[in-house]
Amino acid sequence: MTVYIALLRAVNVAGTALPMTELKAICETLGFTDVKTYIQSGNVLFRSDEAEAKVAEKLDEALGRKFGKKPGVMVRSTREMETVAENAPFPDAKPNFLLVHFLPENAPNDALDKMIAPDGEEAVVAGREIYVHYPVGSGKSKLKLPALKPGTSRNLNTVRKLAEMARAMEG
């Protein structure tokens, strides 16, 4: 069975509350096993025999039934998450000031063309991820980058922890 990490978009923000115990129960109802959640921002790890795209679709549909609209679910394998963590650019950035924006598909070739970075933000595209260093922190940033809209972000500390948890599940 494959270990997957699912990252939920727009959960526990803007009135879309989802206790992690409920997220775990939803995953188990879908037939996922060894379900574990991490912090309240919509991170869940589990095992499934199904393909990554099918797992993402099933979870997004189940959450859509709960919320009335699909929040968006980005799924990565253990190896993919480890690669994301290992390949993080901006080695001098504080890990909590470096966000990885996970996208449902590869970023468009012109993803950074419309970027407006008034606080010195820097971005690097890597397939289905866009790394952004926020020198003033993401909460204070005035960054405009339309390519981020369909995705969800996690700081590098969270990405590393999720990769570590997934690797531990692999045994």
- DSSP annotation of 89: S
Question: How large a percentage of the chain has pLDDT more than 90?
Answer: 88
Confidence of residue 10 (pLDDT cuts 50, 70, 90): confident
Res 104 pLDDT > 80? yes
Average pLDDT over residues 130-141: 96
Query: Band of the pLDDT at 15, cuts 50, 70, 90?
Result: low
**Which DSSP helix (H) or strand (E) runs through 5?**
strand 2-8
Which domains are delineated in the chain?
2-79 (3.30.70.1280), 81-166 (no CATH)
Rounded Cα gap, residues 156 and 160, in angstroms: 6
- Please compute Rg for the chain using Cα positions: 16
Tell me 151's DSSP state: S
17 vs 142 pLDDT, higher one = 142
Name the pTM for this structure. Answer: 0.94
Q: How confident is the model at residue 40 (pLDDT cuts 50, 70, 90)?
A: confident
> Which residue from 150, 131, 170, 154 is spatially nearest to 73, judged by alpha carbons?
150
